[in-house]
């Protein structure tokens, strides 16, 4: 087992690491089959790599799989996606969460078509100039799609590397160090090889973190890097990576107003910028800390014929990245000729699945209408 101590290093210090060759040998035997991943020996499709990486941000593989397949069926290449409307993209994205990704996805496709003739740049620098592509995503696409010698660091790789070297620094401060250490696991190009296998090195670490070096109860006896792992030598792999206590935002409260006109529902579109930008919602109050029911109730839409709102028992709860939310739900029915207030519209309940409803609004509608 490894004898080096837990690492708390100066920026220029990087120790000798585990064997990239053993890692790739393991990957060649156990690589996951994923709808966006090229088969061994095949050339990766940059469009599929990019689309999957955007979808996988803060979202698990099992959740992303069906969405990825729907997008590929509807828009098989970046040119077709770049020519689609943002509304269509948001509708297809509905339920996947973190909706700024969908807006950036569309903007990026438009930019690739408009500025690059429908061909993705093959360098990290070129990729980072595109909308919605940050340092990690640029590195992932460059490595996986174009075999550039760079190592992207996602949550799985971060966990594997922090355990392999028993990095004592807490996240997020440890991120620069972990990136440097992760780069030592890039396979060296061997004589006669056409590729450096940088993308395979990255995907091997991702698969290792997903299947073996899991957050809880890692299967160390199956790990190809176990002999080099400092955290295993300490018998404490689950204590890495070190994390500072999370700061949870204060609870916000509000009201949602679910209005039906026969078999139609009153909805509106949220502003393009900000939380859930461009998504569809039922009318509602502001979401505020300490807001009471009476204040929220006064923010109901002005509808002719509505003299009384029925409050549904219970509350709808939802947790966003930075704060938890509780919504009280009110319902009302209006006559068949009632006009929608300015900025709102009626949509058939039968086609509600085609609207870009975020998960919190799906919960609200289901709760209010007992769906």
Which one of 13, 53, 168, 170 is the catalytic residue?
53
Residue 227 annotated to the active site = no
- HEC secondary structure over the chain: CCCCCCECCCCCCCCCCCCHHHHHHHHHHHCCCCCCCCCCCCCCCHHHHHHHHHHHCCCCHHHHHHHHHHHHHHCCCHHHHHCCCHHHHHHHHCCCCCCHHHHHHHHHHHHHHHHHCCCCCCCHHHHHCCCCCCHHHHHHHHHHHHCCCCCCCCHHHHHHHHHHCCECCCECCCHHHHHHHHHCCCCCCCCCCCCCCHHHHHHHHHHHHHHCCCCCCCCHHHCCCHHHCHHHHCCCHHHCCCECCCCCCCCEEEEEEEEEECCEEEEEECCCCCCCCCCEECCECCCEECCCHHHHHCCCCCCCCCCCCEECCCCEEEECCCCEEEEEEEEEECCCCCCCCCCEEEEEHHHHHHCCCCHHHHHHHHHHHCC
Q: Which residues are catalytic?
A: 53
């Amino acid at each position: 087992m490894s004898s080096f101590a837990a690492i708390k290093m100066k920026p220029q210090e990087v120790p000798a690491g585990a064997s990239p060759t053993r890692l790739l040998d393991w990957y060649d035997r156990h690589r996951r089959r994923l709808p966006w991943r090229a088969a061994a020996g095949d050339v990766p499709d940059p469009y599929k790599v990019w689309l999957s990486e955007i979808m996988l941000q803060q979202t698990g593989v099992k959740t992303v799989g069906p969405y990825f397949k729907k997008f590929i069926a509807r828009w098989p290449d970046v040119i077709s996606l770049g020519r689609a409307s943002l509304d269509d993209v948001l509708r297809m994205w509905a339920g996947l969460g973190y909706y700024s990704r969908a807006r950036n996805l569309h903007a990026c496709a438009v930019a690739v078509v408009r500025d690059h003739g429908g061909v993705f740049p093959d360098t990290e620098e070129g990729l980072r100039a595109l909308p919605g592509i940050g340092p990690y995503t640029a590195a992932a696409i460059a490595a996986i799609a174009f075999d550039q010698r760079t190592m992207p660091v996602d949550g799985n790789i971060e966990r594997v590397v922090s355990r392999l070297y028993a990095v004592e620094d807490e996240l997020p401060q440890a991120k620069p160090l972990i990136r440097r250490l992760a780069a030592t696991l890039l396979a060296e190009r061997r004589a006669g090889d056409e590729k450096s296998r940088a993308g395979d090195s990255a995907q091997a670490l991702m698969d290792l973190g997903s299947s073996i070096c899991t957050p809880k109860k890692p299967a160390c006896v199956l790990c190809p890097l176990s002999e080099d792992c400092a955290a295993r030598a300490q018998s404490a792999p689950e204590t890495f990576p070190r994390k500072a206590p999370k700061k949870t935002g204060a609870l916000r409260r509000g009201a949602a107003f679910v209005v039906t006109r026969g078999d139609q529902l009153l909805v509106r579109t949220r502003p393009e910028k900000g939380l859930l930008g461009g998504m569809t919602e039922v009318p509602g109050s502001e979401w505020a800390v300490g807001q009471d029911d009476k204040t929220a109730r006064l923010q109901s839409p002005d509808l002719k014929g509505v003299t009384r709102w029925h409050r549904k028992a219970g509350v709808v709860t939802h947790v966003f990245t930075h704060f938890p939310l509780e919504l009280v739900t009110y319902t009302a029915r209006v006559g068949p000729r009632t006009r929608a207030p300015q900025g709102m519209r009626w949509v058939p309940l039968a086609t509600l699945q085609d609207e870009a409803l975020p998960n919190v609004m799906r919960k609200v509608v289901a709760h209010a209408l007992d769906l």
